[in-house]
A and B are shown apart, each in its own frame.
Chain A
Amino acid sequence: GENVEQHPSTLSVQEGDSAVIKCTYSDSASNYFPWYKQELGKRPQLIIDIRSNVGEKKDQRIAVTLNKTAKHFSLHITETQPEDSAVYFCAATSGADGLTFGKGTHLIIQP
């Protein structure tokens, strides 16, 4: 089955700086790569996703890049703000099955 590794487990950045979270996956058949944000006490919610026919996708301050050859994908957040503080999960899947998630990154935005 699929295995997703996520790094770092904790990331602390100054407000206004950029944050990058990286994930690798093992199954070359995976073709859908979403990122979820989970604020304290709340449910995970999708913030951005990318499919295997695209190398990069951007939505305002958030971008995701995908390198299928190397089997890794990354989340980039620019101009970080206090409300970006949360746990972020990457995931991968090859079909309509359940997503396989990374272990999560706790992003801390320092004022």
Chain B
Amino acid sequence: DVKVTQSSRYLVKRTGEKVFLECVQDMDHENMFWYRQDPGLGLRLIYFSYDVKMKEKGDIPEGYSVSREKKERFSLILESASTNQTSMYLCASRPGYGELFFGEGSRLTVL
């Protein structure tokens, strides 16, 4: 069974704080993704990565950065959290052209 694990299920941060969301997958997938899910807006792609140290912008990268130092780990970074970044964040991985596997999600609240 593919496992995508997100380190934090629930986080509460203050405006201006730096936030790290960590994601680990155990199936040696090349591609990893960060999505943001908001009611009525579906899932929107923030960033993705094809390989270690590689990253590509998705549809809504503003205010976010990512890091992929190891193949199994993909981190999402909010340099200075803002209230409009309150959301559910979903990490996912994919073996090339195949199925996208999601983590459980990290619900971030920025006060």
Q: How large is the interface on B (under 10, 10 to 19, 20 to 34, 35 or more residues)?
A: 20 to 34
A45-B102, A103-B42 known; A98-B33 Cβ under 8 A: yes
CB pair B102 A98 closer than 8 Å:
no
Say if the beta carbon of A96 comes within 8 Å of chain B: yes
Say if the beta carbon of B22 comes within 8 Å of chain A: no
Say if the beta carbon of A59 comes within 8 Å of chain B: no
Interface size of A by CB at 8 A reads 24
Q: Name B82-97 residues within 8 Å CB distance of A.
A: 90, 92, 94, 96-97
Among A34, A43, A45, A98, max chain B CB count under 10 A is at: A98
Q: Which residues of B contact A45 (CB under 8 A)?
A: 102
A45 nearest CB neighbor, chain B only: B102
In angstroms, Cα B94 to Cα A34, docked, is 13
CB pair A99 B50 closer than 8 Å:
no
Say if the beta carbon of A54 comes within 8 Å of chain B: no
In angstroms, Cα B37 to Cα A44, docked, is 11
CB pair A103 B96 closer than 8 Å:
no
CB pair A89 B99 closer than 8 Å:
no
Interface pairs (22), CB distance under 8 Å: A34-B99, A36-B100, A43-B102, A43-B103, A43-B104, A44-B90, A45-B102, A46-B99, A91-B100, A95-B97, A96-B96, A97-B48, A98-B45, A98-B58, A98-B92, A99-B100, A100-B45, A101-B35, A101-B42, A101-B43, A103-B40, A103-B42
Which B residues lie at the A interface, using CB under 8 A?
A: 30-31, 33, 35, 40-45, 48, 50, 56, 58-59, 90, 92, 94, 96-97, 99-100, 102-105
Which A residues lie at the B interface, using CB under 8 A?
A: 1, 6, 9, 32, 34, 36, 42-46, 49, 89, 91, 95-104
